[in-house]
Structure 1
Amino acid sequence: MATPRAARYAKLGAVVLVIVALAIAYRLGIFTQVADPKTLAQTLVAMGPWGYLAFVVAYTVLQPFGVPGTVFIIAAPLIWPWKTAFVLSMAGTMAASVVGFSFARFIARDWLSARIPARLRKYDEALERNAFQTVVLLRLLLWMPQVLHSFLGVSKVGFWTHFWGSLLGYIPPLLLVSYLGGEMFDPSGGLQPGAWPILAGLLIASLLIAVIVRVRARCRRPAPGAP
């Protein structure tokens, strides 16, 4: 079993590794290349078949530490057929979520815990009662912001509950963006006029799913004083 000192050294080493990786990425101009979907798409197309791997690796390494995940999921349907875009977007999103969750739980738990916004703290009780359903709803409504990775990482939710709940919550929005990406975004990654009804439909559908899940959870909850 690892000693407390060894655990501290391991955490410090992980933090240093992250900082070095981000510094190298900055030095190589990777942040500039992923600054917008059009630039990212051009870079990946130029890489040929290696673009698949580069997409997932860049998504996994960069999104948990500052690069918006939307840059990647918007770029994917601009490059590949929608089925390929969906698979790669899901792989990158899940990998980035696991990295962000694990970093918050095992490496920087105390530091990140003090910086979680109050608007997310209100879900602590819901996570204790219905962890899986709450993770699904949070991912469905909020997608993959770094602060949500951190919040779930410092919460009491289990790793596999987070993993499967996130997977289920990501499917509707990523599937929609991958399938309708060409109609929603122009080649530069900007929203087209026809995107607004689609986004409104996604929001309404997400809210309806959230309401249905919460109502079902309340119906299954035993009444006070019930045996």
Structure 2
Amino acid sequence: MNKKQITVLLVAAFALIFIGLYFLVPTVAEQVNKATNLLLRADINGMRTYLRNFGIWAPIVSMALMVFQSLAAPLPAFVITFANAWIFGWVMGAVYSWTGAMIGASLCFIIAKAFGRPVIEKMVGKKSLEKTDRFFDKYGKHSVMIARLLPIVPFDIISYAAGLTTMGFWEFFWATGLGQLPATIIYSWLGENMSPSAKYALWALSGFLILLVVSLAIKKRFDQKLVGDNHV
């Protein structure tokens, strides 16, 4: 049995275990449904309360939710990032959010490598994947880094798409890790300084706009570099 077959079996086993727990254990289904509902409603205050109920296990649960939202698009990650910073402070909150996001991205990459394009197309949609293909064709080895910096680019699709290329895991891992840092730090800092009475939607929007301006400036530099390279 080769490495790819082992990966497929492991992913399938974990998926079956999760599905089994969801349908056979009412408490698991209740918690998953509640967390999903909070994410869909972008309820940061509700997510903070939800995580706090797990006590010392809250960091583990928050990272598990980051992995879950990475695999189950389109759930917004910033809800968890804000809540983590609100509970744990921006430094530790950023560590938990970044770690969970990295695990989720890695799993998406591995799943794509193991199962191939036909399966990924069914998961994320053919048109979305083709659009991402064009992005990868344009930016080449810088694609993952640029995509992570742009808050408007879906996190999971980039991870899956990267797994369908010849890119190696560690190249993908470091590009994701570095590209994900600005968003994690900005949202975490805003999250820690958000009071319980604050209109957190405005804080989330502020973080998004700050990150968008910074990321577009960086993207512009990459575009200029690409134009310069093409004229050499």
The interval holding the TM-score normalised by the smaller chain is 0.7 to 0.9
**Contact persistence 2:187–2:204 (CA under 8 A):** no
TM-score in terms of structure 2 length: 0.77
| Displacement of 1:210 | 0.7
**Mapped partners of 1:174, 1:44: distance in 2:** 18
Query: Mapping of 1:149-188 within 5 angstroms?
Result: 149-182=159-192
3-state SS of paired residue (2:201): coil
Matched, 1:30 2:31: yes
Greater Cα offset, 157-166 or 181-190 = 181-190
**Contact persistence 1:136–1:169 (CA under 8 A):** yes
Query: Mapping of 1:81-92 within 5 angstroms?
Result: 81-92=89-100
1:58-98 superposed Cα distances (whole Å, 9 cap, x missing partner): 32245313443233223212212111111111111111110
Structure-2 change in CA distance of 1:222 and 1:19 (3 Å): farther
Q: Which has the higher helix share?
A: 2
**Contact persistence 1:69–1:145 (CA under 8 A):** no
Amino acid at match of 1:157: M
**Mapped partners of 2:99, 2:71: distance in 1:** 14
Greater Cα offset, 58-67 or 70-79 = 58-67
Q: CA RMSD in A?
A: 3.0
Matched, 1:219 2:215: no
**Contact persistence 2:116–2:164 (CA under 8 A):** no
Structure-2 change in CA distance of 1:173 and 1:13 (3 Å): closer
TM-score in terms of structure 1 length: 0.79
1:148-204 superposed Cα distances (whole Å, 9 cap, x missing partner): 222122122221111111111111111100001255686698403x55454323211
What is the count of residue pairs matched by the alignment?
Answer: 216
**Mapped partners of 1:180, 1:104: distance in 2:** 34
Question: Where do 5+ consecutive residues of structure 1 fail to align?
Answer: none
**Mapped partners of 1:44, 1:84: distance in 2:** 14
**Mapped partners of 1:75, 1:95: distance in 2:** 19
Matched, 1:17 2:27: no
Q: Which residue of 1 is the match for residue 70 of structure 2?
A: 63
3-state SS of paired residue (1:213): helix
1:93-140 superposed Cα distances (whole Å, 9 cap, x missing partner): 11111011111111354321463423212123235xx31x21110111
**Mapped partners of 1:99, 1:93: distance in 2:** 10
**Mapped partners of 2:207, 2:67: distance in 1:** 27
Higher radius of gyration, 1 or 2: 1
| Displacement of 1:209 | 0.6
